[in-house]
Copies of this chain bind each other. A is one copy, B any other.
Amino acid sequence: MRFAIGVDLGGTNLRIAAVSEAGELLEKITTATRAATGPDAVIGEMAAAIEEIAAKFRSTGALLGVGIGVAGIIDARTGTLRESPNLPGWNDYPVRAEIERRLKAAVVLENDANAAAAGEAWRGAARHFDSMCMITLGTGVGGGLIFQGRVWQGMTGMAGELGHICINPKGPRCGCGAAGCVEQYASATAVVRMAREAIASQGAPRLAEAASEDAEFNARVVHNLAVQGDQGAQEIFRTVGWALGVLLADLVNALNMPVYVIGGGVSNAWASFAPAMFEELKQRSFVYGATAPEDIVAASSGDASAAWKPPASGTSPRTLVTRALLGPDAGLYGAARLAMLLYGGTSLR
């Protein structure tokens, strides 16, 4: 058995998994990222944890390498983390070199959304396809592009920053310096901001109540209210859907991918935002219009990949927009798979 280690280095949690070449998740551990201790200490703990989990499988298998997904801007060429919103003090930190030095194993450093894209392409919602586009809705909005079995990293490893596509040039300021990025409408952070705006305008009594009762007022709370029928909360997820529809229309027109996968925590609110998303997408993208599937996706649980079949002979393939399948494990699968590809593989699938 050959296996690789996948790592998801977040600002809060450090998650590490051993994944077999056949695609089985052998073991997974989660520990806190003690970000305040600084990069050297965190890297030391990460190396020890990788060593520990790898040791368990070394007697029966061969470690192919280690893949690390991290939220932030990486330099793929040098394997450094240029900048991460969740890891202050890591600027230009040579993650790849530090882990390779400690473990004597080959390391791949990737952006977390690219790793999630690789995971969904290998074992998840895009498993039937060679090319795909991933959109992750978390604290921010991330993205990953896979063309013909390979992650498209771009010139310097920064490709796939889909959360900073502009959907409204006069929209809210974004942390990236621009305005009206889709991240300002479809991230967990944006859901909370929109809820607070609704509360401030005095038009959302149940949201106001929830915010005053719950010290950890977050996107999940807003979603629960939407599910319970609160119109103020539902309106927020319609805005999320609208924003994703505009984004998807841009992406479908530009890329004509066979499949677009939406993951990240906010994608749990699929049923609350998908109808508005598909409506906007249909209106805005003539490429989608020319390749649109039946409407089952919007109405269902969102897993359109389960029912997918190759197009019948003589019929045109259709554009699929679907939910991610692997949840928070997508990045672990993907990071591990990217490490496996170091050894001559040519496709994620």
By a beta-carbon cutoff of 8 Å, the part of chain A in contact with chain B is 73, 75, 77, 82, 131, 143, 145, 147, 152-162, 164-169, 176-179, 246, 249-251, 253-258, 283-287, 289-291, 316-317, 319
Contacts and interface: CB of A to CB of B under 8 A. Distances in A.
A165 B253 contact: yes
A162 B283 CA distance: 17
Contacts of A317: 155-156
B169 A286 contact: no
A257 B143 contact: no
A291 B155 CA distance: 9
Contacts of A160: 254, 256
A77 B319 CA distance: 15
B153 A256 contact: yes
A152 B291 CA distance: 17
Given A152-B147, A156-B291, A317-B156, A164 B286 contact: yes
Interface centre among A147, A156, A168 (most CB of B within 10 A): A156
A156 B319 CA distance: 10
Contacts of A154: 255-257
Given A154-B255, A255-B154, A164 B285 contact: yes
A226 B319 CA distance: 43
A305 to B, nearest CB: 15
Contact of A178 (B155, B256, B285): B285
Contacts of A166: 167, 246, 249-250, 284
A14 to B, nearest CB: 26
A75 B316 contact: yes
B290 A253 contact: no
B177 A254 contact: no
A161 B249 contact: no
Given A147-B147, A169-B168, A159 B246 contact: no
A145 B133 CA distance: 15
Contact of A73 (B161, B255, B290): B290
Given A155-B258, A168-B168, A254-B254, 12 more contacts: A77-B316, A82-B290, A143-B254, A152-B255, A154-B257, A157-B256, A158-B290, A161-B254, A176-B286, A178-B283, A178-B285, A251-B254
A291 B317 CA distance: 37
Contact of A158 (B147, B169, B249, B287): B287
Interface centre among A167, A169, A319 (most CB of B within 10 A): A169
B178 A249 contact: yes
Contacts of A250: 165-166, 250
A165 B286 CA distance: 11
Contacts of A179: 284
Question: Which 3 pairs across A and B sit closest by C-beta, in order of nearness?
Answer: A154-B256, A159-B256, A178-B284
A49 B182 CA distance: 50
Interface centre among A73, A166, A258, A316 (most CB of B within 10 A): A166
